[in-house]
Amino acid sequence: VVPAPDTLIDSAHRRSAAYGLRPDSVADYTPLSRSELAILLERNHALYRHATPVMESLYEQIIHTHHMVVLTDASGAILHTIGDADFMEKADRVALSPGVAWSEQSKGTNAIGTAIAEQSATVIHAGQHYLSANHFLTCSAAPIFDARSEEHTSELQSRLHLVCRLL
Instruction: Quote the percentage of the chain above a pLDDT of 70.
Output: 84
**Would you state the pLDDT for residue 167?**
34
DSSP string for residues in 10-69: HHHHHHHHHTT--TTPPP--PPPPHHHHHHHHHHTHHHHHHHHHHHHHHHHHHTTSSEEE
Q: 73: part of which helix (H) or strand (E)? A: strand 67-73
Q: Give pTM, 2 decimals.
A: 0.86
What is the C-alpha separation between 41 and 38, in angstroms, rounded?
Answer: 5
Instruction: Tell me what percent of the residues of the chain surpass a pLDDT of 90.
Output: 60
Alpha carbon distance 56, 127 (integer Å):
29
In this predicted structure, what is the pLDDT of residue 148?
65
What is the C-alpha separation between 17 and 28, in angstroms, rounded? 16
| CA separation for the pair 148, 145 (Å, rounded) | 9
DSSP 111-143: HHHHHHHHTS-EEEEGGGSSSGGGTTEEEEEEE
Backbone torsion region of residue 17, taken as left when φ is above 0, otherwise alpha when ψ lies between -120 and 50, otherwise beta: alpha
Q: What is the pLDDT of residues 120-166, one digit of tens each?
A: 999 999 999 999 989 988 899 988 887 665 443 444 555 555 555 54
Per-residue pLDDT of the chain (167 residues; tens, 9 = 90+): 555 666 999 999 999 999 999 999 988 889 999 999 999 999 999 989 989 999 999 999 989 988 899 999 999 999 999 998 888 888 887 888 999 999 999 999 999 999 999 989 999 999 999 999 899 888 999 888 876 654 434 445 555 555 555 43
d(CA 90, CA 66): 10
Instruction: Provide the pLDDT for residue 161.
Output: 52
